[in-house]
């Protein structure tokens, strides 16, 4: 019997390292980043329709607010690119069940785009190779290729040239979420403003972080977390500094603004410490809400 529906589950990410080089002539910055996929998942369900209504979309889930239910949604843009590239009509309904915070620096939109590529490939038997999927993903955004692979990976260029990183062990995270997102371009703009006049060197991968990941040394991973966008995110949202302080007071192994923020990610020793920190953050009154997660996890996957 022909398949008429598929669901793809896709994780969020945190950046363990985000080093931002000088802005290139194309307006983009050279990046070196280390991604880790973590256990907060969106689900994208694609169901064929028979009424010739084209591709339609609806959004559900507790993080649905602020997600566009139209052709500007990154998952819809993935459908548009694939339909043109492979010259076929996608008469299907796409439902995105959002659990990844929106505009939180956790690449939720990119995750949905990656899931949409996988769902369309499966439902329409495109038989795309992994490299072909990655190529389409890179057209949609620099975080999208990673969301197909998941795990732990180094991203270079604009973050889209991926190599997998050797990482051992499981890392436990507490995430301080904010109900109000930060715009990624605004954070890069603020980063440029804060660094104006300073000499910015080419970003380099942190060998000590690679070593700590290889030896499952979460204490050192915590110390080595680094994000060049953090001062800019904190400048635009000063309350982030308070949140970072609360986490450190409660003994987190490390604390970092995730990507362009405003999510703050705390690395903790184990689930128990995660629970204690989650309670402390909630009762501190400086955090919108708190989530717990672990990583690394798989990238987009049919379920």
Report, in Å, the least distance between residue 238 CB and ligand ATP: 19
Whichever of 184 and 273 has its CB closer to ligand ATP, that residue is: 184
The first and second tokens of residue 285, run together, are 């009154």
Q: Where on the chain is the footprint of ligand ATP (CB under 6 A)?
A: 66-68, 73-75, 96, 102-110, 112, 143, 181, 184, 259-260
Report, in Å, the least distance between residue 282 CB and ligand ATP: 22
Beta bridge partners of 208: none
b/e per residue 202-233 (b: at least 16 CB within 10 A): ebeebeebbebbeeebbebbbebbbbbbbebb
Q: Is the separation of the CB atoms in 274 and 251 below 8 Å?
A: no
Which residue's C-beta sits nearest to ligand ATP? 109
Cis link prior to 250 (omega < 30° from 0)? Answer: no
Report, in Å, the least distance between residue 288 CB and ligand ATP: 15
Catalytic residue among 121, 143, 160, 228: 143
Whichever of 186 and 302 has its CB closer to ligand ATP, that residue is: 186
Question: Would residue 84 show up in a list of annotated catalytic residues for this protein?
Answer: no
Whichever of 75 and 212 has its CB closer to ligand ATP, that residue is: 75
Whichever of 144 and 174 has its CB closer to ligand ATP, that residue is: 144
Report, in Å, the least distance between residue 75 CB and ligand ATP: 5
Angle at the Cα of 59 (from 294 to 147), degrees rounded to 5? 40
CA 71/CA 61 separation, integer angstroms: 19
Question: Would residue 85 show up in a list of annotated catalytic residues for this protein?
Answer: no
Q: What is the largest CA-CA distance in the chain?
A: 64
Active-site residue numbers? 13, 143
């Amino acid at each position: 019997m022909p398949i008429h529906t598929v669901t793809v589950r896709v994780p969020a990410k945190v950046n363990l390292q985000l080093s931002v080089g000088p802005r290139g002539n194309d307006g983009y910055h050279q990046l070196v980043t280390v991604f880790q996929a973590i256990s907060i998942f969106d689900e994208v369900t694609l169901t064929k329709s028979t009424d010739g209504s084209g591709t339609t979309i609806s959004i559900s889930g507790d993080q649905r607010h602020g997600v566009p239910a139209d052709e500007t949604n990154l998952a819809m843009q993935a459908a548009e690119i694939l339909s043109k590239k492979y010259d076929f009509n996608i008469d299907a309904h796409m439902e995105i069940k959002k659990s990844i915070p929106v505009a939180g620096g956790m690449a939720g939109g990119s995750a949905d785009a990656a899931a949409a590529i996988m769902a369309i490939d499966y439902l329409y038997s495109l038989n795309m190779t992994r490299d072909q999927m990655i190529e389409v993903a890179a057209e949609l955004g620099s975080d999208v290729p990673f969301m197909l692979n998941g795990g732990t990976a180094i991203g270079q260029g604009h973050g889209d040239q991926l190599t997998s990183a050797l990482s051992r062990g499981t890392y436990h995270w507490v995430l301080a979420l904010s109900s109000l997102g930060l715009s990624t371009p605004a954070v890069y703009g603020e980063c440029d403003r804060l660094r104006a006049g300073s000499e910015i060197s080419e970003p380099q991968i942190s060998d000590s972080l690679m070593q700590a990941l290889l030896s499952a040394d979460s204490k050192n991973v915590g110390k080595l977390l680094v994000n060049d966008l953090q001062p800019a995110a904190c400048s635009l949202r000063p309350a982030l500094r308070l949140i970072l302080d609360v986490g450190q007071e409660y003994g987190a192994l490390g604390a970092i603004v995730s990507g362009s923020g405003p999510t703050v990610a705390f690395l903790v020793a184990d689930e128990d410490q995660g629970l204690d920190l989650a309670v402390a953050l909630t009762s501190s009154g400086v955090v919108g809400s708190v989530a717990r997660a672990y990583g690394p996890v798989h990238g987009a996957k049919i379920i």
